Amino acid sequence: MNSSTSKVSIRDVDGGNWRDVVKLSVKAEQRDFVAEPCYYLALCSYGKLWQPLAICLDEQIIGFMMWAVDSDDGSCWIGGFIIDQSHQKKGLGRQALKAVIERLSKTRGHQNFALSYQPSNISAKHLYTSFGFLETDEWEDGEVVARLSLTDR
């Protein structure tokens, strides 16, 4: 499958595709930065805050992310961002980030986005800052918070 001609899309996780999400895995050196997909799905199901999304390349699920709205400031948080190890380093994470921001801004009207990552996760920092996220002086669960405002673009 050629990732330059294939299309990344975002779909809701549902009864028909959650098993494919659970099969996703990251490289051993990335396991300190993200949880297992089954943990994120349980958080979405029982935490009543996060909404799960599957990242698809054409029809194949290649990743996962979730989103939630901060009741304090209305910003839309993106979390649990995973691209399966077999699909990394192909620009698909960037395509997925763009797709989810476009979807949430168009369908839900969100203009302010936030996420967090461990400072030692250099790959995540590079992706997010190159996309326009700016680190703040905020911290969430030991992770630095970065924010993106579409109105500033």
At the top level of CATH, which class does the domain 8-152 belong to? alpha beta
Report domain extents, the chain: 8-152
pTM of the model: 0.89
* DSSP per-residue string spanning 44-109: HHHHSS-EEEEEEETTEEEEEEEEEE-TTT--EEEEEEEE-GGG-SSSHHHHHHHHHHHHHHHHH-
| pLDDT on residue 4 | 53
pLDDT tens digits for range 92-103 = 999 999 999 999
